[in-house]
Structure 1
Amino acid sequence: MTGTYSQSLVVFSLLVAILASYTALDMAGRLASTEGRVARWWLAGGAAAMGLGIWSMHFVGMLAFHLPIPVGYDLAITLYSLAASVGASAYALWLVSHAALPWPRLIAGAVLMGLGIACMHYLGMAAMRMEPGIEYDPWWFAASLLIAIVAAGAALWIAFRLRTETRRPMLLRGLASLVMGLAIVGMHYTGMAAAHFPEGSICGAVYADGLDTKWLAVLVIVTTLGTLGIALIASLFDRQMRTRTGMLAESLAQANEKLMQAALHDPLTQLPNRMLLQDRIEQTIEKAKRRNFSFAVMFCDLDGFKAVNDAYGHQTGDKLLIQVSERVKGLLRGHDTFARLGGDEFVIVIQLDVPEDAAEIAERIIATVGEPFEIDGVELQVTASLGIAMYPTDATTERELMAHADAAMYHTKDSGRNGHTFFTEAMHVSANRQLKLLQELRRAMQRDEMVLHYQPKFRADGGGVIGAEALVRWQHPGLGLLGPDTFIPIAERSGLILQLGDWVLDQACAQLRQWHDAGHPDWSMAVNLSPLQFASTNLLETVKTTLEKHALAPHFLTLEVTETTAMQDVEASLQILHGLTEMGVKISIDDFGTGYSSLLYLKRMPATELKIDRAFVRELEENAEDAAIVSSIVALGRSLQLQIVAEGVETAGQRAYLNELGCDLLQGYHLGKPVDAEEFLRNAA
């Protein structure tokens, strides 16, 4: 008995096979890029979609085959064939989800999957329950099994190769689906060619209330289109979600990169900051140990930068720093490190062929920095002071290299600036002394080793004491009484100056309270503010709290701010000074005449006093220029209705001269040296 085929359904069966193959490849890709519970859901969904697709293709092919007798299908056996198809598909997807697919596993998988597909096909044929049974040609039967195994092997290999394909994935998947679809269809129709239906055969499923071909067609079409459609929609939705997730991940990566850039680079010059510099030096040390080479750490500080900042403002200073960094960067190689620590301090890390190259590079940097800069139409000039420490001759750790280069740079500063100095052991002793002093200074704050001395302030016209200036001293247990020049710079560099400044303010106010209670209610107290104190956000609250603590009227306290500190950030300074004067505290501009004040800004500052620096008082009687400067400052102060205080008065002649010029208050060793509180009170009495 011979059957015929409907050409349209044959083509439709091919399309179903191709669609099922595409779905399978897409599911394999999803499965390879997921893990855990999500991966198990994709495996289950992929196996169902792929298995139903292959099974549907088989029964579409069976619907395309027409026998001259009524045909039906046993429901149970039909479902068994579906289970075989889904099981083979699940195994295939599980196999290609592994990280590797060696040839032995591929061959074993191809055999098992091929036999599973063949099992599905021949169970589907058995569902017809033909009587007598279907006869199979052994050669065509063997050929169908071979095609099933080869097709399964090709499908597994293609699915494994394409699962993570990112270049033209839809095109490649489409071509692979065509190949796989043709292989699946080829296996089906080879198996059909092997089948022989004897004359007079009847379909037992028709008489056993099996599935009619019409209902089978509906079932096949609905399950095929529904399952594959849902699978493809889910895949499409997943792809969109992955695309959005990828875009979000890319945005987060970019944001993270920007955060890392901000965390590791100076915001003004975009050079590496202290954190990144430390890491670079440590990496270079490790590399130098392995490859046995030397390198130099150069500490660079700009000479004259502070004057530029004071005279032209921070914006001009920032532009100057940017141009300096660009110039120096142009001298260095790509693998050298050029970092900014802050302010006008830079560090260069340079790998050297021979140690002598460090001096040549340093000279080139000094020459380049020393050339004039033109900023906003103004020609500016600074110089560079460099300190050089060599690895491994001078130090073998990042901390020691930085400390030694810093010590060498300060030696350059002390030797006249605008040059370079190599680190020596003598500097090491000095650096160690500074480090030891810092450690001892921290302990001194805890052990009450700091003391205050008070220098009296007098009326220039010969009147008595009107108050005092509080001056901090360190009663060192081994070195004796140390003046501020010994430890204040260390305190400022370490940040201890904030704690020390608060202590000085509190002790000075406490002492003034005692003097008021002892019968001197008109005395006032002057306290110096460091630049860090003046810039502190807690300054106003600290002053207010301290005055309340000691029950002092604010006008008895005078805070001295150096001219340079006040002019560093004029607008911010004005805001702080106004806050203090509104509180009632008096303001004295200290060291007046040594900075770069703008008279316009000075007019706006709510100061009470101008304090003439001792440098102009020292040669007042012999130097006409100094006398002219003091006279001008007095005239300026009078026009601004400020009191004029002169410090450094050491002779009777200076005292008389300053009184004649019009100064209001005087300080100096001729009038009274700084002494402790008890002696101050005895002398004043």
Structure 2
Amino acid sequence: MPILSRFAKPQPEVVDEEAARALRLVREFENNGPGWFWQTDREGRLCYLSPKVAKVLEEAGLEAVGNPLTSVFQLDSDSPDTERTLGFHLTSRTSFANYSVRAAAGDAERWWSISGRPQIDALGRFGGFMGFGSDLTERRRSDAEITRLALFDGLTGLANRQRMRLSLDQILSSPNAAARPTALFLLDLDRFKQVNDTMGHQTGDVLLQQVAQRLQRAVGEAGLVGRLGGDEFEVVLPDGANRDCLAELARTIIASLSQPYFISGSSLSIGCSIGIALSPDDGGESESLIRSADLALYAAKADGRGIHRFYREELLHGAKSRRQMEDDLRVALAQGQLHVAYQPVVSTRDECIVGYEALVRWTHPVRGPISPAEFIPVAEECGLIESIGEWVMRTACADAASWPREVRVAVNVSPIQFANPALPTVIASALSRSGIAPQRLEIELTEGIFLQENNASDRMFQSLKGLGVRLALDDFGTGYSSLGYLKKAPFDKIKIDQSFVRGATMPDTRNAAIIKAIVTLADTLGMETTAEGVEIQDEIALIRSLGCSHIQGYVYGRPASTGEVAAQLASSGGRAQPIGFKNSRAPRVTMLRTARLELADMRGEVRIRNISSTGAMIDGIEFDGNEDVREINVQIEVVENQLFDARLRWAKDGRAGLQFAQPINLDRLNGPATRTPKRT
């Protein structure tokens, strides 16, 4: 009997107690826990559903118990965990787990995860399905928020770089991508950094939000708009076949983004440049299309900003050329291919040389001399400008120390160097190594430094003046400067840009008046003035009469080596001798056309070689070598059937120079074959 007692059946009261305990635990879990239970009969109809879920479905208008599971719950077919339908598992009597479902009607935001398995009794008979579920709503909302943060820009709400790339990849990989061109706009805001630096990042963020709104309105439903970061935006237009429409949209965007913005009581103005590329011609894949649009954007900014440019094949060649120049420039700096030349700065009072401007030059071993206009922008873009600038600074100071007279030396400093807090240390080191007095060094700054007008700029000015060096404002009148800012910027000199100097002696020009106004301004502020780009000797007298204190230009010589500078200062007593043309002349237009010439009672045909508003050079006319032709009056048919009075000024080897009695309007000429402006 003791052995049999091991197999004795539990007493009924014990079974009832355990069942009650289990039921209480299930009820507690169903009412207060995250999960719930369900059960179906052999036909797949629900015969049990936890009350809290049944209530939700009832509020959605669904009667759960007694209806098929597949008509109560709708499967999320996009879920990666869903391999088969619910109906398949119910029919095949196979287990399933973690299927995402929602109510077949009503609240589409409520989601559950359900699992189930078939119930088989001891005799192998199928009795329906039994399973459990849990609420997925908050998890899916959290996942959706994570996805949103991953694919959308948090500041503007636009698509971010990742989503834009995914969308572009999807569009370009579609089966009809080759037959349906896609346009890609890359946008860069002009002058945004200035706003950010002067007004603060909070204002900059509000500005970006307003830019995003305007850009979205301008594009509308035509494409997807995104922010790549900073002040860079992108637009993908799936149907970009019509270039005229794309150009019009680009102009609309630029006009919209360039309108004033009103933020915190201030009116702000920025601009926008756009680069456009089209697939498949400009790139069949995302990477190549983005590269093409980026090159087009670079061209738009290089051409003056505030415009759009389409990608062209030559832009890629230009980019490769710039990259090659960048590589060559690194080698040049390392191998000493750069050198410094010096152009004299002459006093208008006594024509004494008061200083020289240091100009960096590059002689390429294969290409020969390369213009600074080519390699300096490349140096600024690739980060070499500070290394080059420091080398020029040290070289110029060292060379100046060897000159026989203590004249000044001027060194250009780029806005990138000016923004570097280490600049005063670099200058102090160059002065210390060379031993020259600080007042002999003149730092030339362009008006580009005013784009970053802030406290850092004021501190830099104070530091430079604390060293004792002189400061000059270069290319005055062509950049972004503010006259109000000049009142507190501690410049010692203003350099008048050569665009105002050239042609100043010609009639009907306002250049002389502009120069006079700049000189008056400089005198009022206690600053010297240097006229740049003086090339003609008769400009010297004009510049002197307008009160300008110094002259710089080819009229006093081209840039020379430090050895030639030393020889010049030693041999001439520091005085400069003007060279080159003595008189200015009107700009000439090269041409080749026949014209009728009448001289006294003779007439014949000549050829016009070049012409200006005041005279012309002709050939096809011969004179006796002993004859003085300078006072001979003629008439020449410059315009068809119309003769103009002129006077011969010289004649040699079948050619002659004419001076018109009255200036003529060159626009009246009947289409010359070629026109090439000559230097004055």
TM-score by length of 1: 0.57
Partner residue, 1:483: 371
* Equivalence for 1:336: 223
Q: Secondary structure at the match of 2:543?
A: helix
Q: Report whether the alignment pairs 1:664 with 2:526.
A: no
Q: Aligned partners of 2:340, 2:162: CA distance in 1, in Å? A: 38
Q: Is the 8 A contact 1:385 1:417 kept in 2?
A: yes
Which amino acid in the other structure matches residue 538 of structure 1? Answer: A
- Judge conservation of contact 2:339–2:361 (CA < 8 Å) in 1: yes
Task: Pick the aligned partner of 2:251 from 363, 366, 389.
Answer: 366
Report the Cα offset of residue 632 of structure 1. Answer: 1.8
Counterpart contact for 1:512–1:524, Cα < 8 Å: no
Contact 2:219 2:249 (8 Å CA) reproduced: no
Q: Which residue of 2 aligns with 1:503?
A: 388
SS of the residue aligned with 1:161?
A: strand
**Deviation of 1:360 (Å):** 0.8
Deviations 1:149-202 (A, max 9, x none): 99xx99xx86x514x4568xxxxxxxxxxxxxxxxxxxxxxxxxxxxxxxxxxx
In structure 2, the CA distance between the partners of 1:500 and 1:101, relative to structure 1 (3 Å rule), is closer
Amino acid in structure 2 at the alignment position of 1:636: L
CA contact (8 A) 2:492 2:528 kept: yes
Partner of 1:681: 566
Query: Does the 8 Å CA contact 2:444/2:472 hold for their aligned counterparts?
Result: yes
Alpha-carbon distance between aligned partners in 1 of 2:97 and 2:292, rounded to the nearest angstrom: 58
Answer 1 or 2: which has greater strand percent.
Answer: 2
2:565 matched to 1:560?
no
Change (3 A) 1:533 1:346: farther
Query: Which of 459, 469, 491 in structure 1 is aligned with 2:347?
Result: 459
- Number of the residue aligned with 1:433: 321
Q: What are the Cα deviations for residues 269-317 of structure 1, in whole angstroms up to 9, with x where unaligned?
A: 6656777766654554444787864312234567xx559979x977899
Separation of aligned partners in 2, 1:274 and 1:495: 24
Deviation at 1:343, TM superposition (A): 8.4
Quote the offset at 1:14 in angstroms.
Answer: 6.6
**CA deviation string 1:515-572 (max 9, x = no partner):** 314534x233222222222223433343334444444443333222212322442443
Q: CA RMSD in A?
A: 4.9
Answer whether contact 2:397 2:431 (CA < 8 A) is retained: no
User: 1:201-232: per-residue Cα shift (whole Å, max 9, x none)?
Assistant: xxxxxxxxxxxxxxxxxxxxxxxxxxxxxxxx
**Which whole-Å CA distance do the structure 2 matches of 1:670 and 1:652 have between them?**
6
Q: Residues 194-273 of structure 1: matches in 2 within 5 Å?
A: 265=153
Aligned to 1:49: none
Going from structure 1 to structure 2, the CA distance change for 1:450 and 1:254 (only over 3 Å counts) comes to: farther
Question: Residues 294 and 392 of structure 1 are in contact (CA less than 8 Å); yes or no, is this contact kept in structure 2?
Answer: yes
Task: Provide the residue aligned with 1:18 in structure 2.
Answer: 23
Contact kept in structure 2, 1:373 and 1:379, CA below 8 Å: no
Q: Say if 1:271 and 1:339, in contact at 8 Å, map to a contact too.
A: yes
1:374-395 CA distance string (max 9 Å, x none) = 4449999988665432211222
Distance, in Å, in 1 between the alignment partners of 2:97 and 2:191 is: 66
* Deviating more after overlay: 669-678 vs 433-442: 433-442
Alignment partner, residue 134 of structure 1: none
Separation of aligned partners in 2, 1:439 and 1:319: 40
Secondary structure of the structure 2 residue equivalent to 1:519: coil
Aligned sequence identity (%): 29
Q: CA deviation at 1:605?
A: 1.2
Distance 1:636 1:519 in 2: 34
Output the CA distance in 1 between the equivalents of 2:286 and 2:115: 49
- Where 2:132 maps in the other structure, the secondary structure is helix
2:505 matches 1:621: yes
Which of the residues 424, 427, 431 maps onto 1:543? 427
Report the residue type matching 1:611 in the other structure.
K
Q: CA deviation at 1:481?
A: 0.4
Match of 1:593 among 457, 474, 477: 477
Task: State which drifts further: 380-389 or 471-480.
Answer: 380-389
Given residue 558 of structure 1, which amino acid in structure 2 is its aligned partner? E
- Structure number with larger C-alpha Rg: 1
Q: Which has the higher helix share?
A: 1
Letter in 1 for 2:241: P
What is the count of residue pairs matched by the alignment?
A: 480
> Would the alpha carbon gap of residues 281 and 665 (structure 1) be closer, same or farther in structure 2, given more than 3 Å must change?
farther
Which residues of 2 match residues 248-327 of structure 1 at below 5 A?
Answer: 265=153, 281-282=168-169, 284-287=171-174, 293-300=180-187, 325-327=212-214
Residue of structure 1 equivalent to 2:400:
515
Q: Is the 8 A contact 1:265 1:271 kept in 2?
A: yes
Separation in 1, partners of 2:159, 2:416: 25
CA 1:423 to 1:368, structure 2 compared with 1: closer, same or farther past 3 Å?
Answer: closer
Q: Which amino acid counterpart does residue 600 of structure 1 have in structure 2? A: G
Q: Does structure 1 conserve the Cα–Cα contact (< 8 Å) formed by 2:446 and 2:473?
A: yes
Corresponding residue number in structure 2 for 1:574: 458
Q: CA deviation at 1:624?
A: 5.3
Can you list the C-alpha shifts for 1:223-263, whole angstroms capped at 9, x where unaligned? xxxxxxxxxxxxxxxxxxxx9xx9xx97x9979976x68xx
Question: Residues 680 and 405 (structure 1 numbering): CA distance in 2 closer, same or farther, change over 3 Å?
Answer: farther
Q: Note the residue ranges of structure 1 that are not aligned, 5 or more in a row.
A: 1-6, 31-94, 112-145, 168-242
Q: What is the match of residue 140 of structure 1? A: none
Verify the 8 A CA contact 1:609 1:642 in the aligned structure 2: yes
Which residue matches 2:591?
A: none
Deviation at 1:495, TM superposition (A): 3.0
Say if 2:332 and 2:338, in contact at 8 Å, map to a contact too: yes
Residue by residue over 1:68-96, the C-alpha shift from the partner in whole angstroms, topping out at 9 and shown as x without a partner, is xxxxxxxxxxxxxxxxxxxxxxxxxxx99
- Give the number of the structure with larger relative contact order, counting CA–CA contacts within 8 Å between residues 6 or more apart: 1
1:449 aligned residue = 337
Range with greater deviation from structure 2 (675-684 or 610-619): 675-684
2:536 matches 1:531: no
Q: Does the residue aligned with 2:510 lie in a helix, a strand or coil?
A: helix
> What secondary structure, in the 3-state scheme, does the structure 2 residue paired with 1:468 have?
strand
Partner secondary structure for residue 461 of structure 2 = helix
How many Å separate the matches in 2 of 1:348 and 1:20? 58
Confirm whether residue 355 of structure 1 aligns to residue 326 of structure 2.
Answer: no
Q: How does 1:131-210 map to 2 (within 5 A)?
A: 160-162=131-133, 164-165=134-135
* Offset of residue 351 of structure 1: 1.2
Return the TM-score normalized by structure 2: 0.58
Tell me how far apart the structure 2 counterparts of residues 564 and 276 of structure 1 sit (CA, whole Å). Answer: 36
Output aligned runs, 1:69-148, within 5 Å: 103=117, 107=120
* Aligned counterparts of 1:596 and 1:382: Cα–Cα separation in 2: 14
Q: Which stretch shows the higher mean deviation, 418-427 or 428-437?
A: 418-427
Residue identity opposite 1:326 in structure 2: Q
Q: Hey, what's the Cα distance between the residues in 1 that align with 2:177 and 2:478?
A: 53
Structure 1 pair 13–339 and aligned structure 2 pair: CA distance change class (3 A): closer
1:658: Cα distance to partner? 2.2
> CA offset at residue 603 of structure 1?
0.9
1:396–1:12 CA distance, 2 compared to 1 (3 A): closer
SS of structure 1 residue aligned to 2:487:
helix
Matched, 1:612 2:496: yes
Q: Is the 8 A contact 1:320 1:375 kept in 2?
A: yes
Identify if the C-alpha distance between structure 1 residues 507 and 291 changes in structure 2 by more than 3 Å, giving closer, same or farther. Answer: closer
The 8 Å contact of residues 327 and 369 in structure 1, kept in 2 or not, is answered as no
- What SS does the aligned partner of 2:555 have? coil
Find the residue that maps to 1:527 and give its secondary structure.
Answer: strand
**1:678 positional shift:** 2.7
Deviation at 1:592, TM superposition (A): 1.5
Separation (CA, whole Å) in 1 of partners of 2:435 and 2:497? 32
The residue type equivalent to 2:215 in the other structure is V
Q: Distance in 1 between matches of 2:522 and 2:366?
A: 45
Q: How far is the alpha carbon of 1:413 from its aligned partner?
A: 7.3
Kept in 2: contact 1:331–1:365 (CA 8 A): no
Helix, strand or coil at the partner of 1:405: helix
Q: One-letter code of the match for 1:629?
A: I
